Amino acid sequence: MSGERETVLVTGGLGSSGRWVVDRLLDDYDVVCVDLDHPGFEATPREGLDFRAADLTDRGETFDLIEEVDPDAVVHWAAIPVAGEHPDGTTFETNTLAAYNVLTAAGRADARVVQASSDGAYGFFFADPTPLPDALPIPESHDLLAEDPYGLSKIAAERCADRTARRDGVSVTSIRPSWIQFPGEYPCREPEYVEDLGAGAGNFWSYVDVRDVADLVAAALTDPVDGHEAVNCVAADNALGRPLVDLLRRHYGAIPDDCAVAADSDRSAYAIEKAERLFGWTPSRSWRDAADERVHAPDLLEG
C-alpha cells in the first residue's frame, strides 16, 4: 500500500459486483478488500490492494478490522444478495447485522460510507401481487414497503445509515441498484425474459450495468453528501426497449395516477435525477451495446 492515497475498505469485494467496485476504485485509492474468505498469501494482489477475511456479522471482528485499517472511507457491499437462497431469517439477520456492525465501526472511525442498498427496499419485486408505484418515475422519496427479508434488510441498513450520519457526523450514501447486469452476460435480454412480459414486471423491467454501479460508488466517494442520502442506480432505458407506459398497461391494466412518463418513452421506471444532481452521475451503458460486449471480469490478482 502506498500510504500516499486515501484508503477505502470495501466489504464483499470478491463478489460478482464487488470486484468491479474494487477494480474501479483502484484507479484512485488504496483498497482493502474484505470478504469471508482470503485468496491466500500465495496470491499476489494488484498494486494498491490488500485482502482481509472477516465475518462481518461478528461485531468484534468487524470493529477490530476497521479500527486496525483506519480507512478514510468504507464501501459496504457485502450481503446475501437476494431473497430465496437462504432461510428468510438468515437473509435478514446476516444483512442487517453486517450493516449495523460496519456502519457503527465506520462512524467511530470517522470514515465516510457508501453502502449497497437496493430497489428491493421499495417492496415491489417480491410482493404478491406486485403493487403499482405511487408515481412514475419512482423517486427515492417513495415509501419503502418491502415484505421480503432481503428488502427489509436494506430498509434496516438505511435506518442504520440515518443513525450513523446523525450521531457520528459522517457522510453516508445508500445506492439502490436495480437488477445488476454484466457486460456480455445480460439475462434481461435472454428470450425467456424478453418474450414473457411477466418475467420482468416485478421491478418494472429495470436493470443497470455493473460498470455504471461502480462509477456511482466512485462518484459518491469523491463528493460526499451531508448526512445520509439514498439514490437510485438504474439504467436510463428499460430492458425491453419498449414504451414503459404501454408495458404497464399491458401487464397491470393501469398506470399510476401520478405519471410524468411520456407515452412513447422507453425510459426506466426509476428516477435517476437525484444521483446526477448530487454526484454528476448518469448511466452510460445500455443493453443495446453491453449485452454482447466482450469485457472480462476484473482480476484482482497480479499476473
Whether 1 maps to a domain, the answer reads no
Whether 255 maps to a domain, the answer reads no
Do 73 and 114 form a contact (C-beta atoms < 8 A)?
A: yes
Whether 249 maps to a domain, the answer reads no
Whether 298 maps to a domain, the answer reads no
Running DSSP on this structure, what letter comes out for residue 120?
G
Whether 31 maps to a domain, the answer reads yes
Which neighbouring-strand residues pair with 177? 233
Residue corresponding to grid cell 468491479: 20
Return the beta strands (E) in 165-252 as ranges: 172-177, 180-181, 208-209, 228-233
Q: What was the pLDDT predicted at 83? A: 84
Whether 294 maps to a domain, the answer reads no
At 139-183, the pLDDT tens digits run 999 999 999 999 999 999 999 999 999 999 999 999 999 999 999
Structural domain count of the chain: 1
Q: What was the pLDDT predicted at 303? A: 63
CATH number at residue 141: 3.40.50.720
At 236-291, the pLDDT tens digits run 999 999 999 999 999 999 999 999 999 999 999 999 999 999 999 999 999 999 99
- Can you read off the three cell numbers belonging to residue 150? 432481503
| pTM of the model as a whole | 0.96
Whether 82 maps to a domain, the answer reads yes
- Can you read off the three cell numbers belonging to residue 297? 471480469
Q: For residue 136, what are the domain limits? A: 7-190+207-237+270-288
